[in-house]
Amino acid sequence: MCARTLHKDLLENVRDFMRRHRMAQSGEKVLVAVSGGADSVALLDILSRLQEELHIRLHVAHLNHGLRGSDSDEDARFVEALCSDLGMPFTAGRKDVRAFVREQGFSLEEGARIVRYRFLKDVAEQVGAARIATGHTADDQAETVLFRLLRGSGVKGLGGMHPVREERFIRPLLAVRRWEVEQYLTGRKLAFRCDRSNEDPAFTRNRIRRELLPLLRDRFNPNIVRTLVRAAAILRDEDDFAERETALALDRIAKKREKRKIVLDLPSFLEYHRALRRRLIRRICGELAQSPGFEETERIMRLASGQGGMLRAASGIRVQRAGDALLFKLGETPAFRVAVPIEGGIALPELEARLITSVFPRASSEESSWRSDATCAFFDRDTLAGRLIVRNREPGDRIQPFGMKGHKKVKDLLMDRKIPRILRDEVPVLCDAEKIIWVIGMATHEACRVTSRTERVLKVLKREA
């Protein structure tokens, strides 16, 4: 097959791959990340030849990491000249990656990746690009799968790189082999830069590329790259399906789902397959803070299947099994102390709630209408001393609950009501100048109850924000 036919087939394959994965919509601007290496130069040339057919506009971005001295500077000049020849708009940047990794504690490889993607996002915002194209190939995909396998990744990680990530990053060459890129560059007589750091055995990816993959290809499977790419595609599909099932399951069994707290129906949770329970745990923790690793996930699994107890995850999430509930909560409820008007309303952002107060004559309503419940309490207005405040529970807090002669510690009241330990800091108290008049949702003070002698009734209503 002649070189021209090969190039035509490659262009058609990339075009079809982009359309199949909806990588760019008509009229969109695509930012092309060009390092100057073989893959990115081929990507830029291919996209420049397809841009009219795909109805897209291109802008090139190049980041000088400053890691290879004068070679890095030569790369930047090379990409600038290439864009000039193509008449392509171009944005260059320079970042001190070594300083970044020293400050943040990342490996050089990981730090360079983070800095590069931050730069690309910034440039995309500046130039109005809806998509960011990178030159990853099928060989890069195979290396990624092996790299993640060696690190102990699960199904999600072994799915490798997605053709489209975050609906923004696109990888048009992900189905193209590296040898196809090399043939394309030769046939098109396109120059490119060689990055000597790609030969450095200090980087794990380089050892995978230069040692492990050739070993697997020569001694076990001559089609190892295609095999790994196919396996990654299958695992991505399996993972997508399992994630949809996980989302549906969470909707079914979540008894409460807030920004900092998720409560599950435990019997329903335990009915699911072990694999789905793991995914539910990772999804819940990811919504609250960050997904846990394997060992931490297993600890939560054991807690859910046990007899009770509580654990703290590294991300600051506390997990507790209590009765028929499995509770996940991020952090402690922040301290607050807020004045409450006798008539009006206040916000309690720490609890994602509001208190609404009003005063009315006792004679204006039937007795049955002013009985307190979990969200509404009634008090004899004239028994209250001074101003009202709502605050967190504090050590030593006591109240004389309605119908009792003696006082009771609020802590004991919560224990008697079987309030899970990780939720007790959420129970606020409403006080006047002398006493707690309402452990909100739990008990009102006997001395403040509405009686036949009451003239004015104070109504306090708790509502979700």
User: Alpha carbon of 127 to those of 230, 318, 400: distances in Å?
Assistant: 36, 43, 66
Question: Minimum mean pLDDT among 21-30, 97-106, 231-240: which range?
Answer: 97-106
Residue 6 confidence (pLDDT): 60
The arrangement of secondary structure in 337-464, i.e. its CATH architecture, is: 3-Layer(bba) Sandwich (3.50)
Residues 307-333 have pLDDT tens digits of 668 899 888 999 999 989 999 999 888
Q: Higher pLDDT residue, 369 or 166?
A: 166
CA distances, 213 to each of 6, 171, 175, 217, 236 (Å): 25, 22, 18, 6, 22
Would you state the pLDDT for residue 109?
80
The owner of tokens 């730069």 is 119
What is the C-alpha to C-alpha distance for residues 383 and 154, in angstroms, rounded to an integer?
62
Of 138, 315, 312, nearest to 230 by C-alpha is: 138
Query: 118 with 169: CB under 8 angstroms?
Result: no
Tell me if 258-330 shares its fold with 337-464. Answer: no
Average the pLDDT over 9-36 and give the result.
Answer: 95
- Average pLDDT over every residue of 184-194: 92
Q: Contact 256/329 with Cβ under 8 angstroms?
A: no
- For residue 52, name the pLDDT band (cuts at 50, 70, 90): very high
For the cut 90, the answer to whether the pLDDT of residue 431 exceeds it is: yes
Which of the following CATH numbers is that of domain 3-228: 3.40.50.620, 3.40.1390.10, 3.40.50.1820, 3.40.50.150?
A: 3.40.50.620
pLDDT of residue 34: 96
Residue type, 45: D
N-to-C CA span, the chain: 68
Rounded Cα gap, residues 422 and 273, in angstroms: 27
Q: Does domain 258-330 have CATH number 3.40.50.300?
A: no
Q: Where are the domains of the chain?
A: 3-228, 258-330, 337-464
Interval 215-250: pLDDT, tens: 999 999 999 999 999 999 999 999 999 999 999 999
pLDDT in tens, 158-175: 999 999 999 999 999 999
42-59: average pLDDT? 96
CA atoms within 13 A on the CB side of 285: 23
Residue 419's SS3 state is coil
Name the pLDDT band for 101 (thresholds 50, 70, 90): confident
pLDDT of residue 106: 82
Encode pLDDT of 61-77 as tens digits: 999 887 777 788 899 99
Mean pLDDT of the chain: 90
Q: What is the mean pLDDT of residues 91-97?
A: 89
179-183, 295-299, 367-371: least confidently modelled range: 367-371
Task: Return the pLDDT at 329.
Answer: 94
Residue 405: per-residue pLDDT: 83
Q: Write down the pLDDT at residue 3.
A: 53
With cut-offs at 50, 70 and 90, classify the pLDDT of residue 108: confident
Residue 22 pLDDT: 95
In the chain, % of residues over pLDDT 90: 60
Residue 368 has pLDDT above 60, yes or no: no
pLDDT of 11 strictly over 80:
yes
Q: 3-state SS of 61-127?
A: EEEECCCCCHHHHHHHHHHHHHHHHHCCCEEEEECCHHHHHHHHCCCHHHHHHHHHHHHHHHHHHHH
Query: Which segment, 42-51, 72-81, 338-347, is predicted with the most confidence on average?
Result: 42-51
**Phi and psi of 347, rounded to 5°?**
-95, 145
